[in-house]
Amino acid sequence: MRLAWILGVFCFGVCADEPGAARQQELENMLKHDCGSCHGLPPKGGLGPSLMPDALAGKNDALLFDAIRNGRAGTAMPSWRPFLNDAEIRWMVGRLRQR
Ligand code: HEC
């Protein structure tokens, strides 16, 4: 019992960092449909700016993370904090850089 508990805690620390495969698929769909509605599909820009790797190259992860997590006040970019945890947002930023 105790071993399982220790493994559980270990897994929480390590596994919590990257969304699981099923969740990654959901996030992928979200990027297409939710983000794509403003940023385009592929996200070359629309109501929101381009999120293609070349457009993001000069922008650091913290800036992009903040835009997704908190939105941009005074613009159409909403906060995604109610729907995405920090690890999921980090995953999305990494995903956008790989397109
Ligand atoms: C309702 C329209 C809308 C939706 C939906 C939307 N965005 Fe945005 N997004 C914007 C706008 C407009 C901006 C530009 C804000 C500004 O002028 O600073 C923006 C900015 C951003 C930025 C900052 C880009 C930069 O160059 O600084 C990122 C990253 C981003 N959005 C990611 C996302 C992701 C990921 C999603 C989906 C989870 C999403 N957006 C959904 C409208 C939207």
- Cβ atoms of 52 and 95 within 8 Å: the answer is no
Distance (Å) from CA 60 to ligand 1 centroid: 15
Domain spanning 25-98, CATH architecture? Orthogonal Bundle (1.10)
Residues with CB under 6 A from ligand 1: 30, 34-35, 37-39, 47-49, 51, 59, 64, 67-68, 72, 75-78, 80, 92
E strands present in 10-94: none
pLDDT per position as a tens digit, 66-86: 999 999 999 999 999 999 999
pLDDT per position as a tens digit, 21-72: 999 999 999 999 999 999 999 999 999 999 999 999 999 999 999 999 999 9
Query: Domain extents for the chain?
Result: 25-98
* pTM, 2 dp: 0.87
Question: How many helices (H) and strands (E) in the chain?
Answer: 6, 0
Looking at residues 7-24, what average pLDDT do you find? 72
